[in-house]
Amino acid sequence: MDIIKLKHITKQYDDGFVALKNINLTIESGKFYSLLGPSGSGKSTILRIIAGFSQPSSGQVFFDGKDITDLDAAKRHINTVFQNYALFPHLNVFENVAFGLKIKKQPMDKIKPAVKEALHMVRLDGYANREISELSGGQQQRVAIARAIVNEPKVLLLDESLSALDKRLRKDMQFELRAIQKKLGITFIFVTHDQEEALSMSDEIFVLNDGMIQQSGSPVAIYDEPVNDFVARFIGDSNILSGRMIKDYEVEFANNKFKCADGGIKPNEKVEVVIRPEDLDIVAPEKGNIVVTAQTQLFLGDHFEIKAVDANENEWLIHSTNGVKLGERVGLFFDPEDIHVMRLNESQEDFDARIEKYEGDENEN
Amino acid sequence: MKTKKAFFLVPYLAWIILFVILPILLILWYSFTDSSHSFTLSNYVTFFKNGTFLKMMINSFWYAFLITLITLLISYPAAYFLTKMKNQQLWLLLIILPTWINLLLKAYAFIGILGNNGLVNKFLHLFGIGPVNILFTDFAFIFVATYIEIPFMILPIFNAIKEISPAVIQASEDLGASKWQTFRYVLWPLSRPGVESGVQAIFIPSLSLFMLTRLIGGNKVITLGTAIEEYFMTTMNWNMGATIGVVLIVLMILVMLLTNKKTKRKKVNL
Ligand SMILES: Nc1ncnc2c1ncn2[C@@H]1O[C@H](COP(=O)(O)OP(=O)(O)O)[C@@H](O)[C@H]1O
Ligand SMILES: [Mg+2]
């Protein structure tokens, strides 16, 4: 079921800066979404428009099928976990978490068990009487989450909620957030600039850049089939080479012709080719699709990160479980499916239309 | 190192001793002696037995309270909207500017404005009203006192509100609070330190205003401040004047303690 829909949302700030350009997105109930993009791409602006703190310059916001574009933030069944937590410094943990329920004039004998339950959910049992200033960053983060979920919102918005935490704590909280979301069954919209975080937590990701949605889809789809070089570069490491389409399912790059899995592109059109470093296998030089010379090698705990160059001075990034000897010539092997061909400046709609078309052709043949 | 630090403290300590501690001791000494320098409690007995002094005290309190309250009612919204303004520095400057003008000058300016031939009456005359006697009334006294004190209330409140993160206000709205509830449960408690310093900066000096009571209030408003001036300058009864001074100091300390009181939080059992 769709719970939130943004239709043709644009946002121009008072200084004339256009932060969002024709944003369309649909959020389904009960899923974990991420808005992923570099700083300044408009993620927080989208969140503020959904929460009601900011008005779109044009376009509409729908909640549960109703147009809520002009509804006050206080009247939306949406709660937010703010970027710097925004806890009430003059209230203690209990009063912070109880705030929303007290505002709704709930009786104390209802508030207490609800707060207890929420604090338990974020593993802060026994912290009710602490002052906010006595808590660590991670604990404040949990209070902010408890303060929001105690209201049983239908949608929870989280703005870079884990960014201020150190790496260990952040990993823990990623698991916990996901667990809380599963347990409560409410929709989470999580804003982050960290692609790893988005990939590991989300059911669905919206990749943003320059106030536009570049691509949306499941983490696997976005990782495996980036629609343009922005997404390819932003999500994970990748080798991006310029090339030329020969015909359907055949592409030329690095001075070689390769079979690939993409079609529906004009012959001879200039394209870019993405190959993920972990899709490259190191083999004997005569068995490889391409021969390279290893130049640097880093051991990263669970794999080696190798940088190599081929005969045409193209740089290759390879993730391999085994190391290589530096300066040695090795072959790189990859399957046709590992080659992702991207047209220059293709939008997701064009991309989807093309895929549909040539996959249709394929079925006819 | 230590001695060096102590060295820098010398001017400060000298100042405190010369101009704060010694005068207070002197006042205390005067209040407990009579004109022949022998110890007596009679000054205090007179103060608390004689109804006029108590009436003066209540009067002082009442006017100081009114002035502070009206100043606060005007200054809080002003300070709040100031934090939302674009040219804050300019507006602040305009608000601070009048404080650079000497109090006496301002008082005389108001005599010119409020007097029977003043601006206000000339204006009223256009409508065929007046002349109305505005000067030398309670109203004029409170009006001018409020005008003079407003900057000292706006500044601390402005600073306190400015320090509140806008995200905290948004968090309150996000949790369903109306504008009024956000004010009551978040904005007001978080800006209270500013209000407290504003109240202290105004209530305490207002207890002992005497120049304005004379020039604008026309001596119809008698406060402890006027009384002290009377005893020291006119009747030369320094002992009684000092006694009133001591009472005033005690009142001021009480006000300080009251406005600084922290409410203890109840613990909840979940
Ligand atoms: N109040 C504002 N006035 C003008 N420009 C703004 C305002 N808020 C944000 N912006 C601009 O809009 C763009 C998107 O901001 P934001 O949504 O906060 O980005 P993100 O959260 O992705 O980092 C940024 O370039 C930012 O500078
Ligand atoms: Mg942001």
pLDDT of residue A364: 46
**Which DSSP letter does residue B263 get?**
P
Q: What is the pLDDT of residues B122-151, one digit of tens each?
A: 888 888 887 888 888 888 889 999 999 999
Burial B158-184 (b: 16+ CB within 10 A, else e): bebbeebeebbbbbbbbbbbeeebbbe
Residue-wise DSSP of A94-150: HHHHHHHHHHTT--HHHHHHHHHHHHHHTT-TT-TT-BGGGS-HHHHHHHHHHHHHT
Among candidates A271, A206, A218, which has minimal Cα distance to A245? A271
Question: Do residue A129 and residue A206 come from a single domain?
Answer: yes
Ligand nearest to C-alpha A161: 2
CA distance B136 to B117: 14
Strand partners, A35: A191, A206
Nearest residue (by CA) to ligand 1, atom 27, is A40
Kindly tell me if the per-residue pLDDT of B2 is higher than 70: no
pLDDT of residue A130: 95
**Last residue of one domain, picked from the residues A224, A248, A263:** A224
CA distance A306 to B86: 54
Domain CATH number, residue A172: 3.40.50.300
Across the interface, whether the CB atoms of A86 and B189 are under 8 A apart is answered: no
Q: What is the pLDDT of residues B141-199, one digit of tens each?
A: 899 999 999 999 999 999 999 999 999 999 999 999 999 999 999 999 999 999 999 99
CA distance A137 to A167: 13
Mean pLDDT of B219-248: 87
Across the interface, whether the CB atoms of A86 and B165 are under 8 A apart is answered: yes
Q: How far is CA A89 from the centre of its chain?
A: 31
Helices (H), B115-223: 119-126, 138-163, 166-174, 179-182, 188-207, 211-215
Distance from CA of B197 to the nearest CA of A (A): 18
Question: Which residues of chain A neighbour B186 with C-beta distances below 8 Å?
Answer: 88
pLDDT of residue B209: 81
pLDDT of residue A361: 57
CA distance B135 to A83: 56
pLDDT of residue B1: 55
Nearest-Å Rg of the Cα atoms of chain A is: 24
Strand partners, A5: A26, A62
Domain CATH number, residue A315: 2.40.50.140
pLDDT of residue B57: 87
CA distance B48 to B30: 17
User: Tokens representing B177?
Assistant: 């609070």
Q: Answer whether residue A311 is part of any domain.
A: yes
A353 is in which domain, residue-wise?
237-276+335-365
Question: Do residue A295 and residue A212 come from a single domain?
Answer: no
Phi and psi torsions of B159, nearest 5°: -60, -40
Instruction: State the virtual CA torsion across A63, A66, A72, A78 in degrees, nearest 10.
Output: -20
Question: Do residue A267 and residue A289 come from a single domain?
Answer: no
Confidence of residue B112 (pLDDT cuts 50, 70, 90): confident
Kindly tell me if the per-residue pLDDT of B261 is higher than 80: no
Question: Which CATH fold topology does B51-222 show?
Answer: MetI-like fold (1.10.3720)
Q: Which of B175, B189, B265 sits opposite A79 (nearest CB)?
A: B175
Question: Do residue A106 and residue A6 come from a single domain?
Answer: yes
Q: Answer whether residue A231 is part of any domain.
A: no
User: Tokens representing B195?
Assistant: 């209000």
Question: Do residue A21 and residue A92 come from a single domain?
Answer: yes
Question: Which residues of chain B neighbour A74 with C-beta distances below 8 Å?
Answer: 173-178
Mean pLDDT of B216-226: 80
Question: Do residue A127 and residue A69 come from a single domain?
Answer: yes
Contact present, B224 and B208 (Cβ < 8 Å):
yes
Domain count, chain A: 3
Question: Do residue A20 and residue A159 come from a single domain?
Answer: yes
User: Tokens representing A344?
Assistant: 């220059």
Q: Which of B177, B265, B270 sits opposite A74 (nearest CB)?
A: B177
Q: Answer whether residue A112 is part of any domain.
A: yes
Question: Which residues of chain A neighbour B171 with C-beta distances below 8 Å?
Answer: 80, 82, 86-88, 147
Q: Answer whether residue A229 is part of any domain.
A: no
Q: What is the pLDDT of residues B50-77, one digit of tens each?
A: 888 888 888 888 999 999 999 999 999 9
Contact present, A320 and A314 (Cβ < 8 Å):
no
10-residue block means of pLDDT along chain A (365 residues)? 95 96 95 96 96 96 95 94 93 96 95 95 93 93 94 94 85 90 94 93 96 94 88 88 91 91 88 92 91 92 91 91 89 92 83 77 49
Q: Give B 207-266 residues with CB within 8 A of chain A.
A: 265
Mean pLDDT of B241-258: 89
Question: pTM for this one?
Answer: 0.82
Q: Give the residue on B whose Cα is nearest the Cα of A104.
A: B176
Distance from CA of A100 to the nearest CA of B (A): 5
Distance from CA of A88 to the nearest CA of B (A): 6
Question: Do residue A31 and residue A19 come from a single domain?
Answer: yes
pLDDT of residue B165: 94
Kindly tell me if the per-residue pLDDT of B263 is higher than 50: yes
Question: Do residue A242 and residue A353 come from a single domain?
Answer: yes
pLDDT of residue A360: 58
